[in-house]
Amino acid sequence: MLILKAFLLLLALTVAVYIGLYFLVPKKIADTAMSLERMRAGLQRSEMDIEVDGRGFHIVYLEGGPANGPPLLLLHGIGADKDNWTRVAAKLTQRYRVYAIDIPGFGESSKPADARYRIGDQVERVALVAKKLGLTRFHLGGNSMGGWISAAYAIAHPDQVQSLWLLDPAGVFSAEESEMIKLIAAGMPLPLFARSKQDFGRLLQFVMQKPPFIPAPVLAVLAERQIANYALNEQIFDEIREQSGVLDATLAEMNPPLATPTLIVWGDKDRVLHPSGAAILHRLLPNSQVLMMAGIGHLPMLEAPGRAAQDYLAFRAGLAE
């Protein structure tokens, strides 16, 4: 009986310690969970420094896959970071050398409030990252804002980009009004960013039709990061929306059209950017194909990473490389 009591006491203490760690040090648990996810995806964290017009930027990124594999550079959306690609990368690092960067202004990369964050500015910075990685010819993918940057990069450097993977890309201003655009027009708060933990929960439900399971400590840390970056995220959003040279207008003016092989992927339940943008881009990009993902929202690579990866692998298999 004494041994049983001692065992139960030890078990109770172990559970109490675990619960205490779970709620008191969520950052350590979140960091461990993210590290394990990256490890499963074959990715590791790396850093570099670049300089643009006398201003330095510290860039943090993930890389993995065969050292001599075809390079694939991935760009996240606004308010997001490099880990948006971790789950889909698990299927891609088996074949490609994958790089997922924190674009300046986001994640762990430099985010000076007085810098400019227009699409053209980010294209210039991504070009320096690619150069520092030694990439002269590579494949490029992006989601939302990252999709717009990716397409703009291909327009500016068509000789470097072998193919484009655009997942619910921003910049198609002639598309039908999305739910988000209607909310903004009605004077409602922007649903892409969070000022509180409650906001963050609503954000996840807005951008994804099928949010993946996220452990509570990771969720808490992600919410804290969103809250800390709220003002800068809004600033960048406004700067991008007010800039000239939107993607569809730029592509329409190109003669000849951009010939880069392109896979356009869009969730048919996207509330952020209207799925009608897919058909518009398809018309403007003669060497493109469209995949509409049924029942998926704005972040296909997070909501359905397996499907997104298989579709991309099939697309790449069809290219003459």
**Phi-psi bin for 65: left (phi > 0), alpha (psi -120 to 50), beta?**
left
Angle at which helices 119-132 and 145-156 cross, to 10°: 70
Task: Name the active-site residue from 109, 144, 163, 178.
Answer: 144
- Nearest Cα residue to 267 out of 172, 166, 137: 166
What backbone torsions phi and psi does residue 221 show, to the nearest 5 degrees? -70, -40
Concerning whether 157 is annotated as a catalytic residue, the answer is no
For 300, residues 6+ apart whose C-beta sits below 8 A from its C-beta are 143, 167, 168, 265, 266, 267, 293, 307, 308
Exposure letters 41-55 (e unless 16+ CB within 10 A, then b):
bbbeeeeeebeeeee
| Structure letter (DSSP) for residue 106 | S
Q: In the annotation, is 274 catalytic?
A: no
Side chain identity, residue 284: L
Phi-psi group of 38: left, alpha or beta (phi > 0 → left; psi -120 to 50 → alpha; rest → beta):
alpha
**Which one from 76, 139, 274, 298 is the annotated catalytic residue?**
76
Neighbours of 257 (CB within 10 A): 15
C-alpha span between 279 and 172 (Å, rounded): 10
The neighbouring-strand residues paired with 167 are 143, 265
Residues 6+ apart with CB under 8 A from 167: 141, 142, 143, 144, 147, 265, 266, 299, 300, 301, 308
Q: How far, in Å, are 36, 89, 187, 235 from residue 190 at the CA level? A: 33, 29, 9, 12
Please identify every residue annotated as catalytic: 76, 144
